[in-house]
A and B are shown apart, each in its own frame.
Chain A
Amino acid sequence: MTTLVNDRHAPGWNRPPIIESDGEGELLEVAMGPHHPSTHGVFRMDVALDGERVVRLKPVFGYLHRNHEKIGEGVSYLASMPYTDRLDYFCSLTNNWAYALAVEKLVGIQVPERAEYIRVILAELTRIQNHASAIGFLIQEMGASGTPLMYAFKEREKIMDLFESLTGSRMMCNYMRFGGCRVDISEVQLNMARSIVAGLPNFIDEFEALLSSNEILLARCQGVGIIKPELAVNAGLSGPMLRCSGVNYDLRKVDSYGIYGRFKFRVPLGDHGDIYDRYMIRVLEMRESIRILEQALHDIPAGPVADPKVKSRGIRPKPGEVYGRIEAPKGELGFYLISDGSPNPYRYRVRPPSLINLTILEDMCLGQNVADVVLIFGSVDIVLGEVDR
């Protein structure tokens, strides 16, 4: 048996609790990763176990580090755009948007109506396919090897086809530009999007019928990996990880960036902060995304997708700095840029939600069984391309 020495609701909740072994057995140190089926990439957790119980967990990063920020400082503003696709390679379009938004704020560029609508449509489709595959991976972690993931991928494939026909690439879309989008969306593609959205509620109903009340899912997810709201805010969590603990903070509502102020949608909030809440919030967010998509696809106006007078290439912003952020599927994705008046940014910084959401991985795992670590880790929903940059 292990005992909690200081619990995390005490004034010291800023730090993970210290669990001391009772000395009956030796601690077993296990390196989970860097090559492990549950790590979604190359990532290591150095875990110390007392029997089945986790007493220490240190994440080790950097296997995929390529110093994205240094590369961004060596090239022009526009040249970083295709490279942002490689951050969170599941959601390249939201990465594009975050970067474009930061530069637009730095320079002061207005975006045409139609481009704003296209951005919303693409971002919400990205959110749906990200959440669907995140849930698929989570269930795979539980031992349901492949089948639920392939259900999710079936729907993702349709969205990917739309992305490919619009941008020329399934995953590395490189579609947004400062002050608009690269190409216009055709009526055929809009109808394609409409038919995808029309089919989505059925897909989610089916998904939920299979999973939401599944006994194994309930047994393994409820009450496991709990996050308290105070710690969630203090540790800078964002996205579904923050909202699962009941903190109402969605940047689409708070900042109303782009044209999100025009759409009616609700922000799902969790109650317990456990894995099940994180699963459920992703399902509900997909349903809200469908609502946004229906409104956007109905209202999208005709017009240009970029002002031809605004140049994207070779911009030289006035000296100054900016921090721009959006609600990416994984959390708050921000770009911090400093301009010194030259064609390259003086400082180019990505605020990676995946990395910062892992801050409290140890807190969530301490005292849990080692089998649950895999599940808790899966519920954070990270992509190593963004964690290591």
Chain B
Amino acid sequence: MNTIEEIKTAIEAAVPGATLKIVLNPSVSAQHSLVLDHEHAVKVAEFLRDADGLQFDFLSNVTGVDWLDKELTEKVKVQRTVTKVVDGVEKVVEEEVEEARKRFVPGFIECVYHLYSIALRQGPLVLRMRTANRTDQVQMPSLTPVWRSAEFQEREVFDLFGIVFAGHPDLRRLLMWDEFEDHPMRRDYVEPDDFEYEPTPHDQVLKRAQAHKAAAQEGTVAAQ
């Protein structure tokens, strides 16, 4: 089994321009992962599938992970000049002060792929891809053209996390119904009060009645 560093250098030699980042896993399992960039992801995937000595032909698991926006509070040491009264004389003194600063870390949604090699009996190799943010830039390339097993699983990630996979042959919701609008596996998802709410003719009648009521009240106020 190749180490993650060896795989990284092999990919960088074979796919020029690919930027990869190793994410270390501090737990006992020590399953480290590689973060791919969107531009070269499909080429890297094809290389991993076909290259001798790697042959990761079996894509076992595809899933999403939602990482929320974070606001980190950090303590930063700041130099500042203060005028101080020392022994009755005013002096300008430089001093070091600790200051709490808030730093905004944008969240992202991540897609995680677990690869195994049936030919060489090795694995798992964990690949990750990250979206730019959680709201409007949620696209990433689909790996379904490389491994067919991603077909339903990427549909599920699209459904539950809202990642849009460019190049997926049939990107529809898998588990929720087509008219559903939210993405239930996101961490900030709030359940609707009534899943099956549909506007009915009765709603229009109620709305009209409320309008009449308001108008009637205004009329009585005007009359007084």
- Expressed in whole angstroms, the Cα–Cα distance for A378 and B184 within the complex equals 31
Of the candidates B59, B61, B184, the one whose C-beta lies within 8 Å of that of A349 is: B61
Contact of A62 with B58 in the complex, beta carbons under 8 Å: no
Establish whether residues A235 and B184, one from each chain, have CB atoms under 8 Å apart when the complex forms. Answer: no
Residue B208 interfacial (CB < 8 Å): no
Contact B175 A319 (CB under 8 A): no
Which residues of B in the span 186-208 have a Cβ within 8 Å of any Cβ on A?
none
| A70 x B27 contact (CB < 8 A) | no
* Distance between Cα atoms of A106 and B28 in the complex (Å): 6
B145 at interface (Cβ–Cβ under 8 A)? yes
Contact present for A325 and B60 (CB under 8 Å): yes
A101 to B199, CA, bound (A): 48
Are the C-beta atoms of A359 and B185 separated by less than 8 Å? no
Q: How far is the CA of A353 from the CA of B61 in the complex (A)?
A: 10
Question: Complex: how many Å from CA A236 to CA B115?
Answer: 10
Interface centre among A70, A108, A231, by most chain B C-beta atoms within 10 angstroms, is A70
Size band of the A side of the interface?
35 or more
Does the CB pair A70–B126 fall under 8 Å? Answer: no
Q: Which residue of A lies closest to B156 (CB)?
A: A355
When the two chains form their complex, are residues B27 and A320 in contact, meaning their CB atoms are under 8 A apart?
A: yes
Q: Is the CB of B65 within 8 A of A347?
A: yes
- With most chain A CB atoms within 10 A of its CB, the pick from B145, B153, B169 is B153
Give which listed residue, B26, B60, B121, B177, contacts A62 with CB less than 8 A.
B177
Which residues of chain B are near A247, meaning CB under 8 Å? Answer: 118
Cβ of B27 and Cβ of A358 under 8 Å apart? Answer: no
B133 at the interface (CB under 8 A from A): no
Closest-CB distance, B141 to chain A (whole angstroms): 15
Q: Chain A residues near B176 (CB, 8 Å)?
A: 62, 65
* Smallest beta-carbon distance A351→chain B, Å: 4
Tell which of A14, A67, A249, A321 touches B29, judged by Cβ atoms closer than 8 Å: A321
Given the complex, which residues of A lie within 8 Å of B121, measured CB to CB?
Answer: 254
Stretch from A31-39, A167-175, A185-193, A331-339 at the B interface: A331-339
Q: Judge if A267 is at the interface, Cβ distance under 8 Å.
A: no
CB distance from A341 to the nearest CB of B (A): 10
Is B47 an interface residue when CB atoms closer than 8 A count as contact?
no
CB distance from B195 to the nearest CB of A (A): 12
B2 on the A face (CB < 8 A):
no
Return the CB mask of B97-118 against A: 1 if under 8 Å, else 0.
Answer: 0000000000000001010001
A322 at the interface (CB under 8 A from B): yes
Interchain nearest-CB distance for A170 vs B (Å): 28
Judge whether B153 and A106 touch: CB under 8 Å: no
CB pair A319 B27 closer than 8 Å: yes
CA distance A178 to B140 in the complex (A): 37
Does A311 sit at the interface, judged by CB under 8 A? no
Is A70 a contact of B149 with CB atoms below 8 Å?
no
- C-alpha spacing A70/B174, complex, angstroms: 16
List of B residues within 8 angstroms of A351 by Cβ? 60-61, 63, 114
| A26-70 contact mask (Cβ, 8 Å, vs B): 1 or 0 | 000000000000000000000000000000000001100101011
Q: Which residues from B are CB-within-8-Å of A207? A: none
In this assembly, does A233 line the interface, its C-beta being within 8 Å of a C-beta of chain B?
yes
Residues of B within 8 A of A355 (CB): 152-153
CB within 8 Å of A: which residues of B?
25-29, 31, 57-61, 63, 65, 112, 114, 118, 121, 124, 126, 145, 147-153, 160, 169, 173-177, 184-185
The list of the 10 closest CB pairs from A to B, nearest first, reads A320-B27, A236-B149, A108-B28, A322-B29, A62-B175, A235-B148, A65-B175, A351-B61, A349-B63, A234-B148
Q: Which A residues have a C-beta under 8 Å from some C-beta of B?
A: 14-15, 61-62, 65, 67, 69-70, 105-108, 231, 233-238, 247, 249, 254, 317-325, 332, 334, 336, 338-339, 346-347, 349, 351, 355-356, 358-360, 388-389
Extra contacts, 17 of them, besides A106-B28, A334-B61, A389-B175 (Cβ < 8 A), are A14-B145, A62-B173, A62-B175, A65-B176, A67-B184, A67-B185, A233-B57, A236-B59, A317-B27, A318-B27, A320-B27, A321-B25, A323-B124, A324-B29, A325-B60, A347-B63, A358-B152
